[in-house]
Chains A and B, each alone.
Chain A
Amino acid sequence: GQNIDQPTEMTATEGAIVQINCTYQTSGFNGLFWYQQHAGEAPTFLSYNVLDGLEEKGRFSSFLSRSKGYSYLLLKELQMKDSASYLCAVSSGGSYIPTFGRGTSLIVHP
């Protein structure tokens, strides 16, 4: 099975930078996803990391270290609309179907 761990809740100030960490334990790692989910809505895809390193996409960046079983999502220039749950998900074995962590609820305040 997979064990995915991320903080339950984080708060940050508008305009600031926040880093959401995710650690995982799995065998046959394929890749790691980050999704954003607003309350009562479906998740939307943010990133997919297969190789080690940092991938930047606008205000959002995602980092992966396969040897450490560790990833983070970095959000810059935070906006109020970034308040949401951020889900870390891992696919492994012969399947690309991700297994989701519990999500980190991010609250951005003025």
Chain B
Amino acid sequence: GAVVSQHPSWVICKSGTSVKIECRSLDFQATTMFWYRQFPKQSLMLMATSNEGSKATYEQGVEKDKFLINHASLTLSTLTVTSAHPEDSSFYICSAERLAVMSSYNEQFFGPGTRLTVL
């Protein structure tokens, strides 16, 4: 299967600082990437859809000025949590969409996630 990496795998930061998380598709090009957030024992909640070369599409209730997304190339999307607060502490997971070749749908491949802790 395809490989998606995330960096860093975990980060601890002080309240008020900004944190950047990178998502890379290592062996395929991804026009579309997705950013999810998962709180303990909760479902994955889609935050935004990241499109290469255009603005991200944010889900209802997600502040676009707080969660900045940049998809500058076909293999890299970044999520920047600006002015982070303790309530932003969560598990952030990205996925990259690979266009269907053999299957009837575009496959999503998930990154390993980034654990963010804001003190």
Contact = CB atoms under 8 A, between A and B. Distances in A.
B43 A101 contact: yes
B43 A40 contact: no
A97 B46 contact: yes
B107 interface: yes
B25 interface: no
Interface string B83-107: 0000000010101000000011111
B34 A42 contact: no
Contact of B105 (A42, A96, A99, A105): A96
Interface string B35-47: 0000001111110
Interface of A: 30-31, 40-45, 48, 50, 87, 91, 96-103, 105
Contacts of A30: 105
The 4 closest A-B pairs by CB, nearest first: A42-B110, A100-B43, A100-B44, A102-B43
Interface of B: 1, 34, 41-46, 49, 91, 93, 95, 103-113, 115
A106 to B, nearest CB: 14
Contacts of A105: 41
A87 B43 contact: yes
29 contacts: A30-B105, A31-B105, A40-B91, A40-B113, A40-B115, A41-B112, A41-B113, A42-B93, A42-B110, A43-B44, A43-B93, A44-B110, A45-B1, A45-B107, A45-B109, A48-B103, A50-B104, A50-B105, A87-B44, A97-B34, A97-B49, A97-B108, A98-B108, A100-B43, A100-B44, A100-B45, A101-B43, A102-B42, A103-B43
